[in-house]
Amino acid sequence: MSEHRHRGYCEALTEAFNQSSVWRVQGDGTTEGGRSAIERLFIRDTLPTAFFCYNDNSAIGVIAALQSRGFNVPADFSVVGFDDIPFANNITPSLTTIRQPRSQIGEIAMTHLLDFLPTRSIPTETSLLHGDLIVRGSCSAPRMKPLD
């Protein structure tokens, strides 16, 4: 569920940087939303060294916006998506992403559905599944000097 993803992201930012909203930019999950998010971030005085995006489509938009501004991904900024859509490996640079365990998601959803049929009660059980980090070309070690 996307609210769990968002909460985990905010908790990780708070844990790492003692704040969760400084670098968060709302988007709509589209490629154009990723482009727009970058434009809103560039009006700030300082920028992060990496972007973790809500999904791969947003990440593709972020990469496109950075490249159109003349930046090199990953030398200037690293970008990570979420979902591992088929196109993620076909862009330049290929997108580092979190691969969701789609088969497990399907199995659990079917189990919940079959459990729901006889009782007609909505299952209250929540399942937490872990994705796999798929490292590709859009990430590198953080840059050491500020961008001009």
Which stretches within the chain are classed as H helix?
Answer: 2-17, 31-41, 56-68, 102-119
Report which secondary-structure segment, H or E, holds 96.
strand 96-99
- Decide if 75 contacts 67 (C-beta within 8 A): no
Residue type, 139: C
Overall fold of domain 2-134: Rossmann fold (3.40.50)
Of 59, 108, 68, the C-alpha closest to 88 is: 59
- Domain range summary for the chain, segments of one domain joined by +: 2-134
* Residue 22 three-state SS: coil
Q: Count other Cβ atoms within 10 Å, centred on residue 79.
A: 26
> pLDDT tens per residue, the chain (148 residues)?
577 777 887 888 788 777 656 677 888 999 999 999 999 988 887 788 899 998 999 999 999 999 999 999 999 999 999 999 999 999 999 999 999 888 998 898 888 788 777 776 776 677 788 899 999 999 998 877 666 5
Concatenating the DSSP letter of every residue in 126-147 gives ------EEE--TT--SPPSS--
pTM of the model: 0.82
pLDDT at 3: 79
